[in-house]
Amino acid sequence: MNEGLYNAVFCYGENQIDPFEQTCVDFDRIIADMRLVGYEINSLNVVQQIMLEQLDILLKTKSRIMEETMDLDNRDAFCREKYGLSFKDIDALDPRHDIEWDIKSGKVIYFLSHEAMHKKDAYDILFKKSFDAFTAKTGFTYTSL
């Protein structure tokens, strides 16, 4: 990777802080995907691409639960017993709109939007393991407002 491209992708701010210092993802694939669709290669867009992949995982998890319980007469009780949430609470989770991200002080943070704060407990119950694995893999920080 040439220095100009490295600086455009991995450095942020005056002090050239690397927000991806602890991130273990396939940057070559991510950058190739971004080039394929014409995205500008910069730190925020790389974060967006990484976060979109995580949101896709969350959405697949939710979809799997919805499909699993679709034909059940007692889906609310089943969801409460197996996942700790009602079917209605799981259905109300929308990671595409509820989760936001940014780079602050050279660190990548992701958080629930202000409008989704009332769903925090549900997100913690259903997606805690996924959030923890994602945080460990990327070095991103999950925070609450």
Query: What's the predicted TM-score (pTM) here?
Result: 0.83
Q: How far apart are CA 76 and CA 58, in angstroms?
A: 20
CB atoms within 10 A of CB 60: 10
139 and 20 Cβ atoms separated by less than 8 Å: yes
Tally of CB atoms within 10 A around 24: 10
Report the C-alpha gap between 15 and 125 in whole angstroms. Answer: 38
Q: pLDDT 10s per residue in the chain (145 long)?
A: 455 655 666 665 566 677 888 899 999 999 999 999 999 888 888 999 999 999 999 999 999 999 999 999 999 999 999 999 999 999 999 999 999 998 887 789 999 999 999 999 999 999 999 999 999 999 999 998 7
